[in-house]
């Protein structure tokens, strides 16, 4: 029901694929959500009315190599910002 922002799926997939290469200070759910939120504020949304269509929109997006590069760049920038000052309990307890 309702509309769905396919960019959320793309950012989540990309973040999970690349997080090990991004030198995250912390990779708990809270920090990953912070990174996703920051990245999604910078990236254009891609709304679909029917979520069953989203794999097709995603496939179309992934063939856009310029777009894909930009998404990784934005996520890496967001990851660097969150890693510079993680706001989660997990990180606070360890430091
Ligand atoms: Zn954390």
Cα 58 to middle of ligand 1, angstroms: 28
Cα 63 to middle of ligand 1, angstroms: 32
Cα 87 to middle of ligand 1, angstroms: 7
Cα 51 to middle of ligand 1, angstroms: 30
Q: How far is CA 15 from the centre of its chain?
A: 5
Cα 82 to middle of ligand 1, angstroms: 9
90 sits in which H/E element: helix 89-94
Question: What is the crossing angle of helices 29-42 and 65-84, to 10°?
Answer: 130
* 56-93 as b/e: b if 16+ CB within 10 A: ebbeebeeeeeeeeebbebbbebbeebbeebebeebee
pTM, 2 dp = 0.84
Q: Digits of tens for pLDDT over the chain (95 positions)?
A: 688 888 898 899 999 999 999 999 999 999 999 999 999 999 988 888 876 766 766 666 666 777 777 899 999 999 999 999 999 988 888 87
Domain ranges for the chain: 4-94
């Amino acid at each position: 029901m309702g509309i769905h922002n396919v960019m959320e799926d793309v950012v989540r997939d990309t973040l999970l694929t690349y997080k090990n290469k991004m030198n995250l200070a912390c990779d708990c759910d809270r920090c990953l959500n912070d990174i996703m939120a920051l990245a999604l504020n910078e990236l254009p949304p891609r709304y679909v009315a029917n979520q069953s269509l989203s794999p097709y929109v995603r496939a179309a997006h992934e063939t856009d190599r310029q777009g894909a590069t930009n998404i990784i760049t934005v996520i890496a920038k967001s990851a660097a910002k969150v890693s510079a000052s993680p706001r989660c309990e997990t990180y606070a307890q360890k430091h």
